[in-house]
């Protein structure tokens, strides 16, 4: 049986589906993404806190969006990426894809939590309350529960292969349900209360605010990639501890 190949340029990308060859590659990539995250974060915070003007309605408290919006974006996007790798893992039976899904979950949950937390810090001065049952808040909270469910299921199964595949099915079921949950929550919300508060009708932003937010979003991307690559390296070492290349200590890139 021949090896599956995916040749783009002069590199066979399936080579990196093997944990052994991906491990040094990930190790080489982490510093780049980590530094990019640090630099972008510093630039984003500088623009956000020192350059961007004070909002004439919300005052200084609006500056939470520089953390909040990128975190909310990442929280949803990471779930999609996680489900994508879970699907790839189920179809191609590649262990590394499952490891990637496992490695992404804590980062996704972290961003979901940060989005909720910073949102409630922003809600207190702006809406006068820590929490409202706004459609977005509610579906973000349910997203957090979905992340927890995924992590708890994988943690409860000792055998890695079963943990991978069970988690993958759950991630895919979750991703199908996310739009249904979102629309049902949104619809429930409009049914129950009038438009007392709405996150959607944000005032048009000054260009510097948008720049700061985009810089922070890029920083969040870079951080997520660096953190999940780091985590996937640890998972590879843990799972492959019986393999020759780990046992012989050839683990540095």
Rg value, the chain, Cα:
21
| Shortest distance, position 186 Cβ to another protein, whole Å | 10
Whose Cβ is closer to another protein: residue 192's or residue 252's?
192
Whose Cβ is closer to another protein: residue 91's or residue 243's?
91
HSE, CB side, 13 Å, CA atoms: give it for residue 65.
23
| Shortest distance, position 181 Cβ to another protein, whole Å | 5
Whose Cβ is closer to another protein: residue 169's or residue 195's?
169
Give the burial class of 108: count Cβ atoms within 10 A of its Cβ; 0-12 exposed, 13-18 middle, 19 or more buried. Answer: buried
Contact yes or no for 136/199 (Cβ under 8 A): yes
The CA-atom distances, in angstroms, between 172 and each of 106, 161, 179, 212 are 17, 17, 12, 34
Whose Cβ is closer to another protein: residue 70's or residue 189's?
189
Contact yes or no for 125/61 (Cβ under 8 A): yes
Whose Cβ is closer to another protein: residue 6's or residue 176's?
176
| Shortest distance, position 113 Cβ to another protein, whole Å | 15
| Shortest distance, position 222 Cβ to another protein, whole Å | 30
Q: How far apart are CA 106 and CA 252, in angstroms?
A: 25
Binding site for another protein (CB under 8 A): 142, 145-146, 148-149, 152-153, 156-157, 161-162, 165-166, 169-170, 172-174, 176-177, 180-181, 184-185, 187-188, 191
| Shortest distance, position 201 Cβ to another protein, whole Å | 23
């Amino acid at each position: 049986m021949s090896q599956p190949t995916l040749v783009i340029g002069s590199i066979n990308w399936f080579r990196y589906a093997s944990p052994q060859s991906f491990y040094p590659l990930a190790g080489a990539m982490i510093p780049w993404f980590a530094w990019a995250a640090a630099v972008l974060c510093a630039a984003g915070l500088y623009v956000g806190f020192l350059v961007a003007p004070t909002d004439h309605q919300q005052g200084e408290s609006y500056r939470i969006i520089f953390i909040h919006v990128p975190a909310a974006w990442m929280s949803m996007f990471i779930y999609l990426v996680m489900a994508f790798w879970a699907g790839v893992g189920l179809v191609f039976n590649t262990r590394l894809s499952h490891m990637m899904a496992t490695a992404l979950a804590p980062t996704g949950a972290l961003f979901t939590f940060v989005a909720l937390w910073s949102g409630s810090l922003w809600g207190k001065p702006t809406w006068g309350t820590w929490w409202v049952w706004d459609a977005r808040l509610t579906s973000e909270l349910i997203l957090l529960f979905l992340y927890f469910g995924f992590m708890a299921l994988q943690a409860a199964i000792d055998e890695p292969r079963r943990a991978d595949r069970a988690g993958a099915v759950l991630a895919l079921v979750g991703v199908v349900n996310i739009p249904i949950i979102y629309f049902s929550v949104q619809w429930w919300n409009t049914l129950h209360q009038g438009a007392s508060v709405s996150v959607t009708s944000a005032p048009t932003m000054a260009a510097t605010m948008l720049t700061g937010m985009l810089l922070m979003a890029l920083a969040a991307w870079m951080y997520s990639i660096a953190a999940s690559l780091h985590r996937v390296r640890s998972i590879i070492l843990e799972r492959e501890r019986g393999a020759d290349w780990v046992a012989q200590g050839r683990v540095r890139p």
